Chains A and B, each alone.
Chain A
Amino acid sequence: MSAPEKFVPPEPGGFVPPEPDGFVPDFLKETAAPAAEAQPVGGPAAPQPVASVRRKVSRTSSDQLGIVWLRGTLHIGVRRQRKSLGSWSATEPVRTAEEFAAALDKALAELKFEGTDTFLVYEGEQFTHQPEAAPTFSAGAAKAYLDGRIARYTKERGPVLWVAQPTIGPKEEKAFLLHLMPQAFYNELRRVFLPRRLDLTRILPMVVPLQREMNGFPLARGTPALVAAELAEATIIIVAQSHGPLLFTRTILASLEEAPERVAIEINRSLLYAKQQFNVSVDRIWLVTRTGRATEEVTAKCGAGKVVMVLPTQPDEWVANASRVARSQPVNLIAGYLRRKRRAQFIRYGLIAIGWLTMANFVQHLWQADTDWRNERQRLQAVQARAPELAAERDRLLARNGTIERERDLRQRIEEAALPRVPAKLLAYLAGVLPADARLNEFNVRWSAEDAAWLFQCDGFITGDDDSTTEAIAALKRNLERCPLRIRFNEAQGLAARPQLGGFGGIAQQRFNLEGRLFEN
């Protein structure tokens, strides 16, 4: 069983020929041969003469034009949602694009279709349906396999639109039904549709509406059934599970109405093939045809136990049936093409917008730059004209600034002579904090230009025992360090000697010396 939900339908673009010894059943080779061996499709065909058809087109119309072109018969209907607004059928066989264009013009004139949305259900020599078996290990491998097959065939026979419909393989393989239409034929169709402002959004094989019809039959889900539908002078046979995937399909070049015996034989062969290859016993047969004339033949040929049902269907009813197929139906030959076309159009419009916006922005920038440049040029010309005046002004300013600088320098040099009144302040402060037992006999303070600081030194005597004098000198130093003149003493100083001894034991006059510098300038 394949896994259709995991499969990504490949983009249209090629065609794969049937394999001579491959999976394709013999009867399919016989019946599908005319389509597969259709005339080679080469480059684009010559433009078709298109009769000028002027019709009123409404962009807002949601009407659909359904075209069912089945092996020479052409039925066209206009649908508005589920309601049919009219239908038209060709009275003459329509086989070529020219005949199709002429018939389409007649139909449009009669139906007065105003919309653009168009779908086509086509069966004919230009549309083939080719079974293909692919590697089973992954969806990617299957896709690559199909792509390779299509690429090879494109190289040999020219480009083809294609879409792969997942089916049930006979031996648990991944199987697909490739629907193939030559690009040249599609181009011919587009040359018919585009001048008439018809937007072809779907090209469906007959299998799609047929399967949809089959899903409406009173069958249990998953029940296999055979449906044989009349397509003009041919008959299409599908074997599928109800609401499930397809097993296989065949096209018999004989009408169910005109040659029921032959078709009955082929139906029986299909039943046998399903039994042999798929191990599926198909007991229900539906004949979708105008009359039930073939019922007896089919019942006779297929043996007892088979339920043969007839669904009377007029050919133009396929229009209504196909119109109910979802727009997102994956088995649409041009889904990928339209997607790519929309993407290309989007990119093109984006580039156009970017181009024009960039150009407008650049022009605006140039305009602004040009305006700025004109102003700048005027200013430059004015400056050039003022050059002699500027030179004189520069000389004047140089002289002025030089004078100011020299005067400032002179003032600084004169003011440098004045120093803070540190000596008197220090002397007064020292006298204020000097202990009562101490006496100064020399005080020196001088300005050191090299150190940019005041250096001081004082010498004196203090009376007392060792401890008290040491403490007194330390207190003196602490007091001096708290001086606002920011005194810093030199290292290792204080009491210097014990030159004299007094009359009491332990009491003496001790000499002290303090040196340091002041940072108060």
Chain B
Amino acid sequence: MRTRLLETLRRIWNFLTVIPGWPDAGRVARTFYVLPLAVPFLVLLLLWGWVEALRLPEMRAVRAAAQEAVSLEAEVGQLRDSWPESAVGESAAATACAIAQALRGPEDLETQLAAMRAGAAAHGWTATFFPGEPELRTTAGGLPTAFQPVRGRLAPVAGNENGFASLLTLLDGLIPAGKSGALTRLAVRVDDQGRLAAELGVRFAALPHDEKTP
């Protein structure tokens, strides 16, 4: 095997270095003859060695030293890209608007119920509301919120001849504008004499009154 390898190398050497017309040229002459062929490959080898032995370790060391700062920079970039700076103001404004739509306490609730009673009376209905216990909603952070349930009963006042139509109109505008709330239940019954009676459930978004709002 070794002999064959040496023979192969010798043949390659001869092939590359044989000078046309000078078959028995000396080693020095052959070496000079092969220089145009060998120089680029030697230079390539040297450059490759320089890159592998010196340049790449240096690059790796510098990069490793700066890795923490680079990661920090990338993280800052990601955080910055998550939200534009303008989102801060917009979010604050939208949040203030949303908070304004939530009930801020029992007084606020009573105010809304009074408005609803007044609205019902304006449509020929008598409204009775019974606030329930607030349902606290779990949250990972930030302000806690709750749903404030309210049960209600509607009965037409005497002389309300157009009970059903007025009920539909009343239900459309029952929840006061500017407050986040909705009907969650509606039950309408008609007795044998044709009298209407409605029961309803309402819920409002509320901020627990003992918390400070932003």
Contact = CB atoms under 8 A, between A and B. Distances in A.
B204 interface: yes
A497 interface: no
Given A187-B23, A415-B98, A424 B183 contact: yes
Given A390-B73, A427-B186, A404 B180 contact: no
B187 A442 contact: yes
Given A44-B24, A348-B16, A397-B76, A424 B171 contact: yes
Contacts of A443: 186-189
A229 to B, nearest CB: 32
Contact of B139 (A356, A359, A413, A421): A413
B63 to A, nearest CB: 7
B91 interface: yes
B171 A427 contact: yes
B95 interface: yes
B189 A442 contact: yes
A345 B73 CA distance: 58
B37 A410 contact: no
Contact of B91 (A194, A403, A444): A403
Interface string B135-175: 00101111101010000000000000000100110011000
Contacts of A397: 76, 79-80, 82
A394 B76 contact: yes
Contacts of B126: none
Contact of A404 (B65, B87, B186, B191): B87
B79 A398 contact: yes
A404 B91 contact: yes
A101 B59 CA distance: 65
Interface stretch (A21-29, A316-324, A377-385): A377-385
Given A407-B94, A415-B98, A394 B72 contact: yes
A419 interface: yes
Contacts of A431: 164, 168
B139 A409 contact: yes
B182 A446 contact: no
Nearest to A186: B23
Nearest to A394: B76
Interface string B28-65: 00000000110111011001100100010001001101
Nearest to B189: A442
A41 to B, nearest CB: 14
A193 B22 CA distance: 11
A446 B186 contact: yes
Q: How many of chain B's residues touch chain A, expressed as a range?
A: 35 or more
Contacts of A441: 189-191
Interface string A206-218: 0000000000000
A423 B186 contact: yes
Contacts of A417: 102, 147, 180-182, 203-205
A17 B20 CA distance: 29
A427 B73 contact: no
B141 A406 contact: yes
B121 interface: no
B147 A383 contact: no
A194 B181 contact: no
A348 B37 contact: yes
B47 A447 contact: no
Interface in B76-120: 76, 79-80, 82-83, 87-88, 91-92, 94-95, 98-99, 101-102
Contacts of B82: 397, 401
B62 A380 contact: yes
Contacts of A377: 62
A269 to B, nearest CB: 42
A446 B201 contact: yes
B162 to A, nearest CB: 13
Given A377-B62, A411-B94, A400 B88 contact: yes
A387 interface: yes
A422 B155 CA distance: 21
Contacts of B24: 44, 47, 187
Contact of B72 (A363, A391, A416): A391
A346 interface: no
A445 B186 contact: yes
Interface string A332-351: 00000000010011011001
A414 interface: yes
A519 interface: no
B190 A442 contact: yes
A408 interface: yes
A47 B186 CA distance: 122
B186 A411 contact: no
A341 B189 contact: no
Given A380-B62, A413-B205, A424-B168, A394 B182 contact: no
B210 interface: no
A151 B23 CA distance: 20
A29 B37 CA distance: 50
A390 B40 contact: no
B44 A341 contact: no
A398 to B, nearest CB: 6
A400 B55 CA distance: 42
B8 interface: no
Contacts of A446: 184-186, 201
Nearest to B168: A428
Contacts of A351: 16, 37
A406 to B, nearest CB: 3
B37 A363 contact: no
Contacts of A440: 188, 190
Given A341-B20, A413-B137, A421-B183, 18 more contacts: A44-B24, A351-B37, A366-B51, A380-B66, A383-B69, A387-B68, A387-B69, A390-B72, A401-B82, A413-B205, A414-B205, A415-B98, A421-B171, A421-B182, A424-B172, A427-B186, A443-B188, A445-B187
Interface of A: 44, 47, 187, 190, 193-194, 341, 344-345, 347-348, 351-352, 355-356, 358-359, 362-363, 366, 373, 377, 380-381, 383-384, 386-387, 390-391, 393-394, 397-398, 400-404, 406-411, 413-424, 427-428, 431, 439-447
7 contacts: A363-B47, A383-B69, A387-B72, A403-B88, A404-B83, A410-B98, A414-B101
The 5 closest A-B pairs by CB, nearest first: A406-B142, A417-B205, A355-B40, A424-B171, A419-B182
